[in-house]
A and B are shown apart, each in its own frame.
Chain A
Amino acid sequence: MQSGRLLKYIAIRLLQAVPVIFGVIVLCFLMLQLAPGDLATVLAGESGGASEAYIAELQARYGLDKPVLVQLGYYIKNIMMFDLGFSFRHSANISELLAERMLATLLLMGSTLVLSLGLGVLAGLLASLWVGTWKDHVISIVAIIAYATPLFWVGLMLILAFSIKLDWFPTSGMEDVVQFYEGWDRVVDIARHLVLPAITLSLFYLALYARLMRATMLEQRGLDYVTTARAKGLNERQITVRHVLRNALLPVVTMAGVQIGGLLGGSVVVESVFAWPGIGQLAFEALFSRDYNLLLGIFLISAILVVVINLIVDVIYVLLDPRIRVGS
């Protein structure tokens, strides 16, 4: 009964996502038009200056001389046919470029999420069980420091300590290209490259979830149903595991869901520091080379990603909390 409703709910949500994403495209397209300069001026600038006539010729060749709305119309028509266009800077098809980079970003985001949620919940749980003791204080202080430290600085320090001094992990990139690893060796190689960026990106969120988890655990422990559980004769471990934990997780899941979009933003910084070949790094490059076609593609794929992840979080929420009802 509930699962049928859930499927219907997912279908409705996906349908609703279409106008959202369409809106994102139109808005981003129009806003990029406001930025000074275009691909033609950048190309001209890089070749050491060019005459007005040459720039006009370049603009005509890339269709940049047409009215804005006509350009938008072309762009949307192409997207309908799943054609995101061509990046002249990378001399590559944008769809293929994004697909390749997306995998790298998803890998980084996924490991960050698992790491920050897993360790954050665990640390918050332990702090709440040890509340008021020195162990609780240590966890809280470490969390505050992690919370307050800028991402890029953490990244640089980790590189300095673990790559340059200790030489445990590679400094940058996603894999050692010249080694031509295959199969299992390649997995291990990517994992070694993944450790530092994932830790860097997780630290902030880990601290946040730890603090939130500690607070909700303590709040939930004072509620009536916990007194009921205690009056039933359950021991403290049973009370925590069976009753408090699941209730305390709900706010953390909500928070994590809201922040996944932010995680994408944070990955721009981390990908730049670690030269991780993901979407974030690509966006950074595209912005500076005025590769607006590519930038639009990145916006589009990010919007889709956020919409899909939000949906997944909502579905998880429905499964966790029976009070939320979907469908009629």
Chain B
Amino acid sequence: MSDMVLSIQNLKVDLPVWSDRAHAVDDVSISVREKEILCIVGESGSGKSIMAKSILRLLPEPHVRVSGGSIMFEGNDLLDVADEHMRFVRGGRISMIFQEPMAALNPLMRIGRQIDEIIEVHTSLTASKRREKVIALFDDVRLPEPERILTSYPHELSGGQRQRVMIAMALALEPALIIADEPTTALDVTTQAQILHLMKDIQRRHGTSILFITHDFGVVAEIADRVAVMRYGKLVETGTVNEVLSSPTQDYTKALVAAVPSMTPRHRPSERPENSILVINNLVKTYAARGGVFGGKSKAVHAVAGVSLKVPNGHSLALVGESGSGKSTLARCIVGLEQSNSGEILLDDINIAGLSRTELRPYRNTVQMVFQDPFSSLNPRQKVGDIISLGPMLKGTKKDKAWEDARDLLCLVGLDPKAVERYPHEFSGGQRQRIGIARAIAMKPKLIIADEPVSALDVSVQKQVLELLDDLRKSLSLSMLFITHDLRVAAHVCEEIVVMRNGVLVEQGATANIFSNPQHEYTKALLAAVPGEGWQQRS
């Protein structure tokens, strides 16, 4: 047992009485060995983050508190040691990296000072020595221009840079263990690949152990030595990464592994129908970035810089790109939420670019949108029935008929028709997204624009929602423009893919071709960045 860095025994964490279950973590025993990366995998609500926080006693007490078990680390039970010793362990012996680096950094403090601080409280080094150390750390996590970053504020860095800063902070005192709580979930695919690579590299060079929490089996395949699967606060399965990924013993693990979207595109008919529901020619959308608070010199940002594409009737086209690529702006232009500067948007051969709101109204129901965040896209004060039937009622359908239709639509998307009488907050994320889909098809559209419809959902729920979209598309012969940052998801539902970067399309083609023979460097980089890519080529 001497190679154990951290050993958690029978840990129990209580939730407040008003929550849906009594224990966030229920009798979990788990240990991290020297120099290993242990991945804890689970869906949201599995208790994985709470368990990680309880190690450093960072739980929001008194509502959520540890009620039993022990956490042994370097000969002490961390649940039992004095506060002063706990502070010595925090940052000094065990450090932590969080999911959203923007929120995890103090917005009003310079980066250099935020890292300097951890060295200051744990050592007696002088200010100049600490500064040297911080710069060495920046070098270690491959941050460019250390002098500039030292005096920057968090908002002046990119997401990837901020997470590198967090990693530098975690490394500062060469801790025995780093706890990383979904450190790449908020990042773009290519940035995620870089950060995972960096963490693995650092773990190897420094011999640190890492407890890595994630919901993504792709990430697990990429980084883990051992895996522990959690559900409802209990440990489902543990084993080496190969055991768990290739021969899981528990049904839940099997289901989770099977839910990871495969890199192999589905077989699709390759012939393209003559007509296209949507044709975009040379579309340009430019934002005038205001120079100062009051004008100043304005400079133009080309969000969409001359994009041409076609969505053939009954087809599904994936628009793939990372944040800032202009994919959402393009979608907003198509549904008329933004006015494009030039170019054509032919919807059923009618150019809708440049139409005013009133002129656009007759065409509104042709295109419907499914939004990314199922939590903010449904009005919390409206019943589900109202949400779905409001559109048809505006078009002249009688209320009784519209509600009757709403019930049928809920059946169609796999929900109980009685749901019409309930409010959105009573549903889970996946169910809400189904409501969002029902709302979109209630208008009997010809084209659905789905803007990252599954990126806010757990992997297992993702799969169900994708299947639903695919089935509906076929049975209702809809066309779909599917916007995503995840090539795996695109492969799952779309016949064709266009890859967008910095406002322009860099590559387009049939899904199978793009995957087997990518032409553009950026497409290749995106494919290489898919977490667990090697493992994905299984079967």
How far, in Å, is B290 (CB) from chain A's closest CB?
8
Q: Does B107 make an interface contact (CB < 8 A)?
A: yes
B102-116 interface bits toward A, Cβ cutoff 8 Å, 1 = contact, 0 = none:
011111110000000
Q: Kindly state the separation between the CA atoms of A234 and B118 in the bound complex, as whole angstroms.
A: 8
Q: Which of A200-216 contact B (CB under 8 A)?
A: none
B122 — which chain A residues lie within 8 A by C-beta? 233
- A320: nearest chain-B partner, CB-CB: B108
- Say whether A243 faces chain B, with CB atoms less than 8 Å apart: yes
Instruction: List CB contacts (< 8 Å) of A213-241 with chain B.
Output: 222-225, 227-235, 238
A328 touches B291 (CB 8 A): yes
Instruction: List 29 contacting pairs A-B, 8 Å CB cutoff, sorted by A.
Output: A9-B292, A13-B294, A223-B103, A224-B98, A225-B105, A225-B106, A227-B104, A228-B96, A228-B166, A228-B169, A231-B91, A231-B95, A231-B96, A232-B117, A232-B169, A233-B90, A233-B118, A233-B121, A235-B87, A238-B121, A242-B109, A243-B106, A243-B109, A247-B108, A322-B107, A323-B153, A326-B292, A326-B293, A327-B292
CA A230 – CA B90 in complex, angstroms? 8
The chain B residue sitting closest to A5, CB to CB, is B292
Which of these, A222, A223, A232, contacts B118 with CB under 8 Å?
Answer: A232
- B53: chain A residues at CB < 8 Å are 227
B residues less than 8 Å from A229 (CB atoms): 106, 117
- A137 contacts partner chain B, Cβ-Cβ < 8 Å: no
Contact residues in B for A16 (Cβ distance below 8 Å): 294
Q: Tell me, in angstroms, the Cα distance from A230 to B91 when the chains sit together.
A: 9
Give the residue name and chain of the B residue nearest to A229 (CB).
B106
Q: At the interface, yes or no: B56 with Cβ under 8 Å from chain A?
A: yes
CB distance from B253 to the nearest CB of A (A): 30
| Min C-beta distance of A250 to chain B, whole Å | 8
B237 within 8 A of A: no
Residue of B with least CB distance to A245: B108
Q: How large is the interface on B (under 10, 10 to 19, 20 to 34, 35 or more residues)?
A: 35 or more
Among B53, B90, B291, find the residue whose CB has the most chain A CB atoms closer than 10 A. B90
- Given that A235-B87, A323-B155 are known contacts, is A227 also in contact with B293, CB under 8 Å in the complex? no
The answer to whether A231 and B121 touch (CB under 8 A), given A225-B103, A225-B106, A320-B108, is no
Are B117 and A242 within 8 A (Cβ)? yes
Q: Once the chains bind, are A247 and B107 in contact (CB under 8 Å)?
A: yes
Q: B274-296 interface mask toward A, CB cutoff 8 Å, 1 = contact, 0 = none?
A: 00000000000000000111101
A7 CB → nearest B CB, Å: 13
In the complex, the 8 A-B pairs of residues with the closest C-beta atoms, listed nearest first: A328-B291, A328-B296, A233-B91, A224-B103, A233-B90, A232-B91, A232-B118, A231-B96
A-B Cβ contacts below 8 A, count: 90
Closest to A227 in B: B58
Chain A interface, number of residues (Cβ within 8 angstroms): 31
- Chain A: CB-nearest residue to B86: A233
Contact mask B191-209 → A, CB, 8 Å, 1/0?
A: 0000000000000000000
CB-CB under 8 A from A320, the residues of chain B are 108
A224-B95 Cα distance, complex, nearest whole Å: 15
Is there a chain A Cβ closer than 8 Å to B533's Cβ?
Answer: no
Cβ-defined contact, B106 with A234, below 8 A: no
A220 closest partner in B (C-beta): B106
For A325, what are the chain B residues with a Cβ–Cβ distance below 8 Å? 292
A322 CA / B108 CA spacing, docked (Å): 6
Whether A323 pairs with B107 at a CB distance below 8 angstroms is yes
By a CB distance below 8 angstroms, the chain B residues around A328 are 291-292, 296-297
Cβ-neighbour of A231 out of B90, B100, B108, B294 (below 8 A): B90
Most chain A beta-carbon neighbours within 10 Å: one of B89, B91, B95, B166: B91
**Other CB < 8 Å A-B pairs besides A231-B95, A232-B117, 20 of them?**
A13-B294, A225-B104, A225-B105, A225-B106, A227-B104, A228-B169, A230-B56, A231-B91, A232-B90, A232-B121, A233-B88, A233-B89, A233-B91, A233-B122, A234-B121, A242-B117, A322-B107, A323-B107, A327-B293, A328-B292
Q: Which residues of B contact A90 (CB under 8 A)?
A: none
The yes or no answer to B362 lying at the interface (CB within 8 A) is no
Asked if A321 is at the interface of the complex by the 8 Å CB criterion, the answer is yes
Chain A residues with CB under 8 A of B117: 229, 232, 234, 242
Cα A5 to Cα B297 with chains together (Å): 13
- Cα(A242)–Cα(B113), bound, Å: 11
A12 on interface, CB distance cutoff 8 Å? yes
Residue of A nearest to B170 (CB): A231
A231-B96, A232-B121 as given contacts; A327 in contact with B106, CB under 8 Å: no
Residue A89 lies at the interface, judged by CB distance under 8 Å to chain B: no
Decide yes or no whether A246 CB sits under 8 A from chain B: yes
Measured between alpha carbons, how far is A227 from B57 in the docked complex, in Å? Answer: 10
Interface residues of B in 6-43 (CB under 8 A from A): none
